Structure 1
């Protein structure tokens, strides 16, 4: 009986993780030719190409994607076996690839990364701050942060906290509207619209109190449109319109009085802050540690306390 080429499988998993033969070689402390030969050996044994590569670019093939999960499992099981044999004293190491929405990521993910990196000096992070939708599996991410109402999928999602969305404006603009009590009073008023939303310019408001059970679809009239809502803040605070924005973005301005909430008898449905991973049963220890770090931090979101982020 011929044993599987475990070394080649492990090397293939690391090349796929890093997206580079040379980087995988560096992390594995092997020579680039050794890594390249191991992958070629595996491809010859399987009779398929695992990577498409030329002098400028490398990408994993469909066949490579099909076997990557099992290759990762082989590598992870070997790591766990070594850790158990050594009494669990192996230092967590390796690369974690994550993605997060731009504004939220820079404001609320970046500040809590230093403490994680200090605690685990052998772990490296590759962070993509982008509002574009990323395919967690196809693009090889370990973790993705999403702010949404999450649909069912083959992925695993952990809700970290609720994110409120608030209708806000500068005090001067709110005063110019008078004592408005119904969303229809905002029809025709100039506002700021997030162009990457599911239905840009449409806000579904639900009544409370005397308006309980009532739903109103507010159609916004754009004064300013953007794919980055942080760009609204100067014009918003200058009293040039109103907007619907996430609480984590406007909490400081609300606390300082630069902005105020509109229509207190109405609200927009909350969304969730989710930590999304693949559905695999086993994951590297480094990924689990980062997940735990994020879960602990967002149990009490900093924007709810009105305090600086503590790391």
Structure 2
């Protein structure tokens, strides 16, 4: 089962063999033996790639849970004398992972010397079961699913602009002023904006001269004074504090209840390596994350404009 799961996650028998120190011939023989015992084909093989059959997909999803439960059972027996071990495979949003996970991996690995971390950064939602991830870090309003989610921290999104932009165009005084007389920049997936304010939810369609699919491009354009953007405080907290950015229309903020979550497959036993990483992040961030330091007054009172 472990060899089959490794072949699927690695994408080929040779890659799985390298990970497990087995020859491709041995890997292929073990897969054939598994298929013979089950009486069905799990993988479709070509000269260039492998793909799961329908039976293989269902089997893989269950095998991943079984292997995790075995690991957790072994961890339970040895928990008194051993720390979490193995390789932890994590996916996270690109910017957040670079800013708020990567700098702290050294501390985490010092506390867990028997663990290795494989951190993949991507802005698309990945199939964590199908692609063999232990957990995903997601910034979203989560929908119901078979996955388990633990909220790690709140996420606040605010309107802001660079002083250079505001000196040229002035500060917007209303949503109508913002939409009619200002440049609003957003990645395609974040357009339009849904803002909560004194009049309830209002929609702002950006229509910016800069079009991009990259949130990081929006951030750089914002800092360069191109326009007004709706950004998360985890992304621009330092720039707000040092004056590189200023909050505009502080009575408005994103309407959705978006949070930072650790998401992992639903199972009875949570592997120790997953548990310690989630606990580490929950303690690192918490209900008042460090990136919101200095913004407490504004977050508590939306009408506050000045940031100390």
TM-score, normalised via structure 2 length: 0.82
1:210-289 → structure 2 map (5 Å cutoff): 212-269=198-255, 270-289=257-276
Q: Return the match for 1:131 from 123, 129, 145.
A: 123
**Partner Cα distance (1:145, 1:102) in 2:** 10
**Partner Cα distance (1:36, 1:88) in 2:** 38
Contiguous gaps of at least 5 residues in structure 2: 295-308
Q: Does 1:206 align with 2:196?
A: yes
- Provide closer, same or farther for how the CA distance between residues 235 and 68 of structure 1 changes in structure 2, counting only shifts above 3 A: closer
**Partner Cα distance (2:148, 2:128) in 1:** 11
CA displacement at 1:186 relative to structure 2: 0.9
1:309 alignment counterpart: none
**Partner Cα distance (2:215, 2:157) in 1:** 12
1:191 alignment counterpart: 184
Q: Structure 1, residues 155-187: CA drift from partner, whole Å, max 9, x if none?
A: 111111111111111124334454643211112
2:42 alignment counterpart: 50
1:120 alignment counterpart: 112
CA displacement at 1:116 relative to structure 2: 2.4
CA displacement at 1:303 relative to structure 2: 1.0
Q: Return the match for 1:304 from 264, 287, 292.
A: 292
CA contact (8 A) 2:69 2:270 kept: no
Provide the secondary structure at the position in 1 that maps to 2:107: helix
Q: Return the match for 1:290 from 277, 283, 287.
A: 277
CA contact (8 A) 1:73 1:282 kept: no
CA contact (8 A) 2:156 2:233 kept: yes
1:64 alignment counterpart: 56
CA contact (8 A) 1:100 1:131 kept: yes
| Worse-matched range after superposition: 177-186 or 289-298 | 177-186
- Provide closer, same or farther for how the CA distance between residues 30 and 218 of structure 1 changes in structure 2, counting only shifts above 3 A: closer
CA displacement at 1:31 relative to structure 2: 5.0
CA contact (8 A) 2:159 2:252 kept: no
1:9-24 → structure 2 map (5 Å cutoff): 9-22=1-14, 24=16
| Worse-matched range after superposition: 259-268 or 67-76 | 67-76
| Worse-matched range after superposition: 267-276 or 28-37 | 28-37
Provide the secondary structure at the position in 1 that maps to 2:275: helix
Q: CA RMSD in A?
A: 2.8
CA displacement at 1:76 relative to structure 2: 4.2
Q: Does 1:174 align with 2:166?
A: yes
**Partner Cα distance (2:206, 2:76) in 1:** 59
1:164 alignment counterpart: 156
- Provide closer, same or farther for how the CA distance between residues 84 and 286 of structure 1 changes in structure 2, counting only shifts above 3 A: closer
CA displacement at 1:276 relative to structure 2: 1.1
Contiguous gaps of at least 5 residues in structure 1: 1-8, 307-311
**Partner Cα distance (2:237, 2:44) in 1:** 48
**Partner Cα distance (2:71, 2:253) in 1:** 49
- Aligned residue pairs: how many? 292
Q: Structure 1, residues 100-145: CA drift from partner, whole Å, max 9, x if none?
A: 1111111112112222233334433332211122122222222111
